[in-house]
Amino acid sequence: MALKKTSKEEILKNSIKLFKIKGYHNTSMSNIADDCGLIKGSLYHHFKSKDDIGLEALKYIHQYFEKNIFSVAYNKKLNSKEKITLFIKKTDEYFLKSKGGCLLGNLALETSSSNKMFRDEILAYFKAWENALVAILEIEYDDETSLSFAQECVALTQGSIMMMNLTKNSENYLKIGKKLIKLF
Amino acid sequence: MALKKTSKEEILKNSIKLFKIKGYHNTSMSNIADDCGLIKGSLYHHFKSKDDIGLEALKYIHQYFEKNIFSVAYNKKLNSKEKITLFIKKTDEYFLKSKGGCLLGNLALETSSSNKMFRDEILAYFKAWENALVAILEIEYDDETSLSFAQECVALTQGSIMMMNLTKNSENYLKIGKKLIKLF
Amino acid sequence: MALKKTSKEEILKNSIKLFKIKGYHNTSMSNIADDCGLIKGSLYHHFKSKDDIGLEALKYIHQYFEKNIFSVAYNKKLNSKEKITLFIKKTDEYFLKSKGGCLLGNLALETSSSNKMFRDEILAYFKAWENALVAILEIEYDDETSLSFAQECVALTQGSIMMMNLTKNSENYLKIGKKLIKLF
Amino acid sequence: MALKKTSKEEILKNSIKLFKIKGYHNTSMSNIADDCGLIKGSLYHHFKSKDDIGLEALKYIHQYFEKNIFSVAYNKKLNSKEKITLFIKKTDEYFLKSKGGCLLGNLALETSSSNKMFRDEILAYFKAWENALVAILEIEYDDETSLSFAQECVALTQGSIMMMNLTKNSENYLKIGKKLIKLF
DNA sequence: AATGAATGAGAATTCATTCAT
DNA sequence: AATGAATGAATTCTCATTCAT
């Protein structure tokens, strides 16, 4: 019947979970619908297509990071050391509790060559991450060093998430964070 | 008829190219067959199933690395500095010329949660990579430091490949290698 | 809310336009709703089903012809020549301004084999057209000739509308009308 | 299994039958497959898409007419009277035995506004028909008269087929043919 | 009257796989 | 070895329809 069962956000959250664990192309509209307690067709009431869900999912996570994590870099009440500590603490919290790694990282590898809109969104996310780190670092370091370091930090974090995901062991991932903080 | 058009290896190479660019689930047996100039059905003469191709592809790359790159770590004619330099030179050569990043890294995120055999193979590859680096490092550092450093190096390399792949820019990837060499 | 946005007639007119251009089965309830600025579900406030819209659409056009065109044949103030001239003038006016040809002709081919009610309505329309022409002709010709001529006239008009629609050229269609008038 | 069940031509013939009776959009790939004793998916071994079947179907009938009917107009062994008589005899034979009227006429109304390739093929068919009639007529009439008459003849035939189809009565259709022959 | 959310059936198409030739 | 034809299940997506609000 016509009772409201789900919201767009609920569908996105379920989709994100599935995309991270099963991959994008291996997650079907049926899988998503099952997870939401809907039938497949009903998903199209909320989203135009599977790619629409995919893109909205990427944007959803991107926004979450902007609001909750990247924003730390621009918080005027904190000093550099506090910023980097909080930034990494929040990043860790997110990736340790979230099963399946980083949605944007995962989809970067699987979809970015075939889907231009996905690729653009993923690039924007990583650029924002990099920019946030640069904003923290440039107080202590010159521009070039800050940028290099920020880029290294993003790459290292993504690589570590990937290894943590594969080995199902978070030890090494955590070491990385500690090391980064020490550099300040 | 029945010209010896294609060898198993030829099919594997084409499959690897496609898996890296399009992803595993987004590459169909048709795609592979088209790329090999065969028709779908003919692939089953060489491989039992798509998963069989996938697994053989992972093993094929793993073996390539064992033979051509990881082996450097165990070459008794080289000293540590020479080893790490050559190791990184060869790694770079491979990843810079190969379109689409690292097959095992890509499939790690997309398939490792759903396919145990893929996961085991991918884990073995990364373990072998790590072991090779440890073998180089332990001459100069203690065990724990060596392991930590090796793991960091693998993660950083994978993360950098991912970013290189996404940004279509190899600059940062190359910086990483140079930095690693300097640590010796 | 609940503004009186749309009347049944408005929906019918939009539906007729779409049925003529896209065909009956290729026009969805969504298409109709979009065209009316409504959402799908709202159509069911005015019509029981799509077939209901289809049938009402056929009746609507049939009635329009009865009232505005076929009636000419029974107008006692006109003589035969005046009748046929006016009849054809009005038919031409209608089909030249109306995009997509004749609704009942179009749906005759597409739906009459599958939908008995549609078929009956379409048959009634063409019979009424034929009768009107017979009423004009029988003053000058015997019964059999009148009927034959009327039937030929309907067939020729429908065939010409079809060709006009296809070629997007109204020249030949107009020639036909002139020729019919001359026969008097 | 892999035994040959059907040919492309067999599928086309079945599709044509269904398209004429049920209409193009109301005929599903399932309907066609059922009629051929195949499952839906197997149709894609022979045709790229439903539209591909539709277009091939139009071409198939067009070719049949070229070879068996329009060719009469260019047969040097016949005089005008013999040509028109044979032309009409063959046309009648075809349309009287074939259930559901004229494929190209039917699809003209249903699909020509939405599908450019269909429209082009249908236009080519009617132009070829017209040309054939002109070729017969121009021996006896001037160019303009021939063309006018040919166009009228095509329109009248199509209109009559439509009415025959609707009324399930072939009487009037046959009258038309006789009348055309007498004009010579 | 109108809407938003849902449904279940069915649309076209693609998938991995099989097997007689 | 390779092909062509077929399969059945699954894919994304659209359909007409219902109904609580």
Selected residues 153-172 of chain A with any CB under 8 Å from a CB in chain B: 154-160, 162-163, 165-167, 172
Q: Minimal Cα distance from C110: which residue of D?
A: D23
Q: What's the predicted TM-score (pTM) here?
A: 0.94
Q: Which residues of D touch C100 (CB under 8 A)?
A: 113
Q: Which residues of A touch B129 (CB under 8 A)?
A: none
Residue A162 located in a structural domain:
yes
Which tens digit of pLDDT belongs to each residue from C5-55?
468 999 999 999 999 999 999 999 999 999 999 999 999 999 999 999 999
Q: Which residue is nearest to nucleotide E9 (CA to C1')?
A: A41
Do D and A touch, counting CB pairs below 8 Å (3 needed)?
no
Which tens digit of pLDDT belongs to each residue from D95-124?
999 899 999 999 999 999 999 999 999 999
Residue D82 located in a structural domain:
yes
The full length of chain B comes to 184
Residue A115 located in a structural domain:
yes
Residue D176 is predicted with a pLDDT of 87
Q: How far apart are CA B86 and CA B98, in angstroms?
A: 18
Distances (CA, A) of B2 to A86, B6, B34: 65, 10, 17
d(CA D13, nearest CA chain C) in Å: 19
- Residue D178, pLDDT above cutoff 90: no
The mean pLDDT of chain C is 93
B51 interfaces chain A, CB cutoff of 8 Å: no
Which residues fall within 8 angstroms of residue D74, CB to CB, at 6 or more apart? D132, D135
The count of domains in chain D is 1
Distance of CA B13 to the CA centre of its chain: 13
Start-to-end Cα distance in chain C: 59
Q: Which residues of A touch B114 (CB under 8 A)?
A: 21-23, 26
Yes or no, beta carbons of A176 and B123 under 8 Å apart:
no
Yes or no, beta carbons of A113 and B100 under 8 Å apart:
yes
Q: How far apart are CA C107 and CA C167, in angstroms?
A: 19
The mean pLDDT of chain D is 94
Residue C60 located in a structural domain:
yes
Percent of chain A whose pLDDT exceeds 70: 98
Residue C6 located in a structural domain:
no
Q: How far apart are CA D154 and CA C161, in angstroms?
A: 12
Cβ of B45 near strand F (under 7 Å)? The reply is: yes
Stretch C150-161: mean pLDDT, rounded? 96
* DSSP state for residue A101 in the 8-state scheme: S
Q: How far apart are CA B73 and CA B78, in angstroms?
A: 9
Query: Tell me, what CATH number does B121's domain have?
Result: 1.10.357.10
Percent of chain C whose pLDDT exceeds 90: 87
D139 interfaces chain C, CB cutoff of 8 Å: no
- Residue D1, pLDDT above cutoff 50: no
The one-digit pLDDT tens for each residue of chain B (184 residues) are 334 446 899 999 999 999 999 999 999 999 999 999 999 999 999 999 999 999 999 999 999 999 999 999 999 999 999 999 999 999 999 999 989 999 999 999 999 999 999 999 999 999 999 999 999 999 989 999 999 999 999 999 999 999 999 999 999 999 888 888 887 6
Residue B18 located in a structural domain:
no
Percent of chain C whose pLDDT exceeds 70: 96
Low-confidence residues of chain A: pLDDT under 50: 1
Which tens digit of pLDDT belongs to each residue from C87-112?
999 999 999 998 999 999 999 999 99
Residue A4 is predicted with a pLDDT of 79
Residue B145 located in a structural domain:
yes
Residues B78/B72, Cβ–Cβ less than 8 Å: yes
Residue A51 is predicted with a pLDDT of 98
Distances (CA, A) of B164 to A158, B26, B126, D121: 13, 21, 19, 50
Provide the residue range defining the domain that includes C129.
55-181
B124 interfaces chain A, CB cutoff of 8 Å: no
User: How many other C-beta atoms can be found within 10 angstroms of the C-beta atom of residue C67?
Assistant: 9
Closest by CA to A180, choosing from A92, A74, A76, is: A92
Q: Minimal Cα distance from A106: which residue of B?
A: B109
Residue D2 is predicted with a pLDDT of 62
Residues D137/D146, Cβ–Cβ less than 8 Å: yes
Which tens digit of pLDDT belongs to each residue from C163-172?
999 999 999 9
| Residue–nucleotide distance: A28 CA to F3 C1' (Å) | 32
Residue C148 is predicted with a pLDDT of 93
Residues A128/A65, Cβ–Cβ less than 8 Å: yes
Residue A145 located in a structural domain:
yes
Residue C3 is predicted with a pLDDT of 41
